Amino acid sequence: MGVLGISSMAHDLVAHSAARTSHIARNVANADTPGYRAQDLPRFAAEMDRGLAMRTTRAGHLQPNGASGDIRPIEREGEVSPNGNDVSLETEMMEAASARQSHEMAVSVYSSVRAMMSSALGRGR
């Protein structure tokens, strides 16, 4: 994978982390809603594997890996409370930390790629 591929993957990871953070925030907001089921997105690695299995063979074909935003949320299994809600604030906080960590890693990779590109072009930092 070339530098541009790594940059593209970092961009996709930032978008995925933002979408996960949105789902986590929705789960926390509905922590007391009767019957609400916690949702999450599949892990980024699983989505990348799915995308790598699909290849665009012609310019008019659909793009692989959810380019149209087709990553679907999944219900997270958890203990159901008496009101039918399965949101665990502890789980949501752990998932929020995981999403933040993924975002920070992607931004760090993206910054490194940018610095390498600038250096290669003779522009320094």
State yes or no: pLDDT of 38 exceeds 60. Answer: yes
Q: Which residue has the tokens 């949702």?
A: 39
Q: What does pTM read for this prediction?
A: 0.73
CA separation for the pair 24, 117 (Å, rounded) = 35
Domain range annotation of the chain? 3-120
Q: What is the mean pLDDT of residues 27-55?
A: 81
Helix (H, G, I), strand (E, B) or coil at 31: coil
- The pLDDT tens digits of the residues spanning 12-26 come to 999 999 999 999 999
> Regarding predicted confidence, which is higher, 67 or 119?
119
